[in-house]
Structures are given as C-alpha cells and as structure tokens.
Structure 1
Amino acid sequence: MTLSTPPASERARRYAADGVLRVDRLLDGSETDAIRAAFMEQVERDREVLGADDGLPDDDVLARFPRFMQPHRRPDLPAGALARRLMSDARVLDVVTTLIGPAYGAQSMFYFKPPSARGQAFHQDNYFLRAHPETCLAVWIAIDDCDAENGALAVVPGSHTKEVVCPEAADADESFTRGLVRPPEGTEPVQTVMRAGDALFFHGSTVHGSPPNTSASRFRRSLIFHYVPRSSVEVSRWYLPLVAPDGTEVTIAEAAGGGPCGDGWAGEAH
C-alpha cells in the first residue's frame, strides 16, 4: 500500500478508512526554507529555551539537536512566531476541520533528526494527549525531503480502529523514546517518502513511528501540530491552554495522566 493525496472531496472518507491522510505541497518551498532557517538559527543560538530531552549524554547527537516542544508558546522568538502562525493557518485548519470538525490547537513540536539520530518507536499520540471523549489529530509537515534512509515517518493504516494501548519497552539503541506499540494484527506499516512541504494528518490512535537517520548528511526536520475537537471536555495538562483559530487561549478540564508526546529515555538507558 502507498499513501497518495486524494481529491478534497475524498479526504474525510479516506481518513475515516485509513486513519491517515496525505496532503502533498501543503506548504511551498519558500515557506519550508523559512521554517528550516528559523529553527536552525534558534537551536544554534539557544537550544535550551525550547528544547526537550534533557539529560542525554554529550555524545548523543540529539543533545545538540533536541526536540522543540510547544514553540508556539514563545511568539517572541522567530521560530515560535512561525509555529504560532502556522498552527492557525487556514490551509492547515481547513483540512483539520474537514476531518474532525472545529478544533483547537493543542501542541506544536519541531524535530531536527540529524544524521545518526535514533528513530522513534511505533506509538499512538492520544496515549499522551488523553483528549476525551474524541481523540487528537496530528499534522506532520516535512521540512526536508525524506525517505527511509533519513528517517521518514512510517504509519500503520487501519490501526486507528484499535484502542490506545499501554506501550511496552522500546529498543534504546533504535528509538530515542521509551514506549513501543506494535502494529495490530492484520495491519502493516507503510514507509513514507515525502517532499518538503508535504503533510500527513493522522488519528490519535494511528500507530506510527520512524527509523533511525542512517544518511551521511541529510537532516529530517519536521514541524508537527496536534489538534483536539472543540467538543473535547478534557486533555492532559501538558497541552493547556489550547489555542482557538483566532489565537485566543482556551482552558478545559485536565485529564488524568498523559504527558509530553513521546517520553524520551534521557540518560536512563542510552
């Protein structure tokens, strides 16, 4: 199976069937160039202000290029201002609304994934967000051309019909995050090949992950957003306040449990 971009009229049906929707060229080249430049400037100038994954050993490349969590909460920084604007961009929200109805922004993330970086074991996002009674929706935007060699995302179509499950331990040599959810019986992972500006929209129960970056020189940078339906009554406290399309902040009840999307090993196992 390969993932292709369906006509706009087919997007909701494809998402309902597969739990994942591909939209090519959501952003153009000038936009991905600007995003790449802003986040690289930020990580080189001060990676701690937005960075997660504290405690990694100095010889781990992700200590130099940690994930940035919730950059949209720092609109005083150029990278944060870009994340804040794109979280409410009509091109993104139009697809989100088609798939889950009116929604609030819950999270922004930026992954650098330089050469030699570990991948991320298969997981389900709503294990962390705990959106209820519905689920979250991820928007994963490629900022570099990516494939299996430099660690492009792999998704498991149809896995969204299964419940969110408790992860088992991942392989610390392969994954920088701790949890592993195996693809459900009868489903198969699909390895994506994407161009900068292409996007994947996927359900909070869809199993997904990525292999290590084994390329010699290619980063695999990505900008990621999570949304929850406006009908959500609770979400993990890590995602509050939510962001309405007009930029105002919204608070709902805190769900029990959850946490930052993708718990890292930090210094524990690698």
Structure 2
Amino acid sequence: MLSDQQIEAYRRDGYLVIPRLIQGEQLAELRALTDRIVGEARGVAANDELYDLEPSHSAALPRVRRLKPAIFRRYAFFHALARDPAITTLLSSLLGPAIRLHGGKLNMKSAGYGSPVEWHQDWAFYPHTNDDVLATGIYLDDCDVDNGPLMVVPGSHRGPTWDHHADGRFCGALDPAACPLDLATAVPLTGPAGSMTIHHVRLVHGSALNRSNRQRRLLLHEYAAADAWPLMGVADFGEFNDRMVLGEPTIEPRVVPAPVRMPLPAADHQGSIYENQRGAGRRFFETYAEARH
C-alpha cells in the first residue's frame, strides 16, 4: 500500500513515481512482446486499430509511436498486467476498493525522433461524474531528462479545466500562449526501467521530442473509481463491467462538482491524441520535422 506521505503528496501535487515496480521476467516479457508487435508493423502502411505510426514510418524501417487499446484485447499479457495486484493494490489507496480500467495504450518515443505530446489534461478527453480518475505509466526503458520523459505541472489538477479546442473544435491540447500556467515549473518524471508513474486525470502534462540515442517506451493505463461514470456515456454495459480490475461494479454514480469542458465538437483528426493534436494551433514542443531544420 502507499504510505500516508505518498498519498498526501499525490493529493497535493497530483503525481507520484514508484521506482522499479515491474522487474525480472515480467519486465523482460513486456519488452520482448512490445518489440515483436512493433516489428510486425512492417506489414502495415497506415494507422489502424492497433498501430499509430510515425510520419516517417516505412516497411523497411517500421516506426510506431503508439500501440492502441487493442493490445489489451489481442494479447493476454497486457490484459493481465493491467489487473496485476502489484498495481491495483497501490491504486486502492487513491481510488478506493472498487476500480475500473478506463483504457490504455503504449506510447513510444524512438531514439532521435519520438513524437512529442503537447500539454493537455486527460480530463478534457474523458470527464466523469467525479474526478477519482488517474493514469499510470510503466517505463519499459530507463528514462531521464534526455529521452522524452513524461512532464507534469505540479498542483495543476486542483485548478480549472483548460480549453482544449482550436478553431471551435476539440484538438486535445491547450494553447500554451493563452494558458496562464507557468509551464517552466513542469517536473520530469524519470526513473529506471520498470518504474511506474501515477498522475491525476486533471493534471496538466505533456512530453517533448526524444533527442537522445535511446528509446523511451511508456505503457499507460487509465483507471477510475467504480462509481466514476464517463459523462460521454456507456456504449456497452457488459463490456463496461468487464473492465473492473478490483472490487465490484455499481450502477450508482457518485456525482461531485468538478470543472468540465466536453470534448465536442469532435476533433477534425479523429484517432489517437497525436491525430487530435494535428488540429492544435500554437505548439510548445518542437516536432521531428522542425528539429531537422
């Protein structure tokens, strides 16, 4: 379980880092399976249900920037890891005794060109009836300030929900020029391979281009208290309950006031956050194409 000091820090700052949570054979299998799935992208020419590809992807040189939520349906290992007691027991200290998996993906920043993710709040994508919602990230590789770590703005989860729209449509990114947050105060979440980050659903975060000669892969899981229900609705009630990872489901949502902006009208570029953010105007992080000039 998390200590009282860790729980207090999470409530105050909106994030935690748990060093070396996943190790040994489990970490080795996670890396090997990820390598195999990325290698199989040689036969993929465009984004599909599983792959989100880098703009520079080719059959000769497969470049993947994200494995989408389909990995949890297609691969038993990923399905089981999201439910591992080593993870869910820790999260029960923050979310309570009943927890649902909201979603997940595996973001990859390849050496030298891994795509950045602009500043955003996860809450802007999937607001719920209460904000006992968070994301965990498991580093598959050692992560330091040079290879594109997750960066967070401490305490920003206690502030407003910022506008993630551009030209009247959702774009999944806040405008850094219009947001009064001091983004220079952002903290990089670093650690050795197998470390797990935790960040609150309303925490402002992003990540820069990977400029190092080392890759940085991050397996993200999104979890919610069972009584936090998505405001965008439940499409399949049976599947919704199948995503319980701890405790029992409920049909009594807990409603707590929280600042909400709906992710509508939908983004011009539907798909992953990378596609959504194509519609963003002013950017904070440099892109691969810009870095080459």
TM-score of the aligned structures, taking structure 1 as reference length: 0.78
Please list the CA deviations of residues 181-237 of structure 1 after superposition, one character each: whole Å capped at 9, or x if unmatched. 547546720123211111111111101111111012x11011110011111132546
Shift in alpha-carbon separation, 1:252–1:113, aligned structure 2, 3 A: farther
Distance 2:117 2:78 in 1: 22
Q: Secondary structure at the match of 1:99?
A: helix
Distance 1:67 1:220, change over 3 A: same
Whole-Å separation in 1 of the counterparts to 2:140 and 2:156: 26
Aligned residues of 2:124 and 2:172 also touching (Cα < 8 A): no
Paired with 1:8 and 1:27, the residues of 2 have a C-alpha distance of: 19
Distance 1:81 1:250, change over 3 A: farther
How far apart are residue 110 of structure 1 and its match? 0.5
Q: Which amino acid aligns with 1:197?
A: G
Q: Does 1:114 align with 2:113?
A: no
- The residue type equivalent to 1:64 in the other structure is R
1:67 maps to a residue whose letter is: R
Check 1:261–1:203 CA distance in 2 against 1; reply closer, same or farther (3 A cut): farther
Do structure 1's residue 221 and structure 2's residue 217 form an aligned pair? yes
- Structure 2 CA distance for aligned equivalents of residues 268 and 235 of structure 1: 23
How big is each residue's C-alpha offset from its partner over 1:122-161, in whole Å with a ceiling of 9 and x where there is no partner? 1111111222222420001111001121111111111110
Number of aligned positions between the proteins = 250
Matches within 5 A, 1:111-150: 111-115=107-111, 116-150=113-147
**What residue is the counterpart of 2:93 in the other structure?**
98
Aligned mates of 2:225, 2:272 — CA distance in 1: 18
Alignment of 1:176-215 (within 5 A): 179-180=173-174, 182=176, 185=181, 188-215=185-212
**Partners in 2 of 1:236 and 1:25 — Cα distance?**
35
CA 1:7–1:135: 2 relative to 1, 3 Å: closer
Q: Which amino acid aligns with 1:23?
A: I
- The unaligned stretches of length 5 or more in structure 1 are 1-5, 170-176
**By how many angstroms is 1:178 displaced?**
6.0
Specify the alignment match of 1:69 in structure 2.
68
CA change 1:148–1:62 in 2 (3 A) is: farther
Q: Helix, strand or coil: the match of 1:84? A: helix
Structure 1 residue 99: Cα displacement: 0.7
Please say which of residues 239-248 and 31-40 is displaced more in the overlay: 239-248
Identity %: 24
The whole-number CA distance in structure 1 between the counterparts of 2:81 and 2:35 is: 17
State the distance in 1 between where 2:195 and 2:99 align.
21
Contact between 1:151 and 1:220, CA under 8 Å: does it hold in 2?
yes
Separation (CA, whole Å) in 1 of partners of 2:230 and 2:173? 23
Residue equivalent to 2:285: none
Structure 2 spans left out of the alignment, 5+ residues:
254-259, 281-288
| Aligned pair partner of 2:154 in 144, 153, 157 | 157
With over 3 angstroms needed to count, the CA separation of the structure-2 counterparts of 1:204 and 1:248, relative to structure 1, is same
Aligned to 1:39, the other structure's residue is in SS state: helix
Whole-Å Cα distance in 2 between the matches of residues 267 and 159 of structure 1?
24
1:19 counterpart = 2:18:
no
Q: Aligned in 2, Cα 1:18/1:239: closer, same or farther, shift over 3 Å?
A: farther
Distance 1:17 1:213, change over 3 A: same
Structure 2: distance between partners of 1:62 and 1:168: 34
Q: CA deviation at 1:71?
A: 3.4
Match of 2:244 in 1: 244
1:112–1:219 contact (8 Å) kept in structure 2? yes
Tell me if structure 1 keeps the 8 A contact 2:99–2:223: yes
2:5 equivalent to 1:10: yes
